Amino acid sequence: MLVYRKRLECHPITTAESNGASNIHWGKLVKIITLGTSHGDPTHSRFNSATVFEVDQHLYLIDAGAPVNALMIRNKLPLQNLKAVFITHLHEDHVGGLSGLIKSLVKYPAADQHTTFLLPEEAAIGALLGWMGAMHREWNPQLLSFGVTTPGPTYQDGKINVTAIPTAHYENEKKPFPSYAYRVTAGAKKFLHTGDLKWDFSDFPQEARHEAFDACICECTHFDVRIVQNILKKCNVKRMIFNHVGNQWHGDGEKRFLDIVSELPFPCAIAHDGEGFEI
């Protein structure tokens, strides 16, 4: 059951704002649903990272932690409407649900169904397809396509435009692998999803300081939230939604976290599994 938080003030798109490519008009909203909100491990109350957003009945995922297919079904999100999946990086808590998601997508396909998967490393595509093959799962190739995320504009389909912003998450392990934040634009709405970040917060996307965003979905596990306030307070966002929630911020810790960020000049929330936010 989705619980939508109070909608933020939104303004209708004017002719000048609309580039004609989007079907979003006059006050239509982007719905963001935080399906899984835990840190690197599932906990008693949170599954691994998966955020779905809905634009004009088209669904998109950012990250696919397990059990993302089950969480979409539980939240009554029709899998055949899933148009694209954007992976921030290849840690298991962000991709562990991919095989189940693909199984659910191809087992009961609808007419004209198609889902694009964008993964940050080429080798992951072959490995994923190999794993699906090992489970003897086959499908009509028209159902799915796979590509590699590249920095900059990486996806557009007439409903949304997605830009990949490189982050430095793997520097936490002194490894060179790519990781990305995503900027999503849908009509006049725009939000930022940070993905996982570096321990010192130095890779927090500068775009959040220079552009206006209706929301920022920011992880809150890999850095000390008490010492990044100076960076966060310069963000030009209408709302901050913290996900990838560490154990210390579960339960009673949630109030302590919200006290820490209460000085920021915009409303902040800690996301829970299955919670919806409208922007």
User: Which residues of this protein are in contact with Zn ion, per CB under 5 A?
Assistant: 40, 91, 93, 196
214 or 219: CB nearest Zn ion? 219
196 or 203: CB nearest Zn ion? 196
Q: How far apart are CA 194 and CA 21, in angstroms?
A: 26
Strand partners, 155: 162
54 or 196: CB nearest Zn ion? 196
Taking the complex as a whole, the smallest distance from the CB of residue 92 to Zn ion amounts, in Å, to 9
48 or 113: CB nearest Zn ion? 48
128 or 168: CB nearest Zn ion? 168
Q: How far apart are CA 105 and CA 82, in angstroms?
A: 9
Taking the complex as a whole, the smallest distance from the CB of residue 172 to Zn ion amounts, in Å, to 8
Taking the complex as a whole, the smallest distance from the CB of residue 43 to Zn ion amounts, in Å, to 13
Taking the complex as a whole, the smallest distance from the CB of residue 14 to Zn ion amounts, in Å, to 39
Taking the complex as a whole, the smallest distance from the CB of residue 17 to Zn ion amounts, in Å, to 35
Q: What does each C-alpha distance from 1 to 33, 73, 142, 242, 273 come to in angstroms?
A: 11, 11, 32, 20, 10
Taking the complex as a whole, the smallest distance from the CB of residue 89 to Zn ion amounts, in Å, to 6
The DSSP call for residue 158 is S
Q: How far apart are CA 117 and CA 235, in angstroms?
A: 30
106 or 181: CB nearest Zn ion? 181
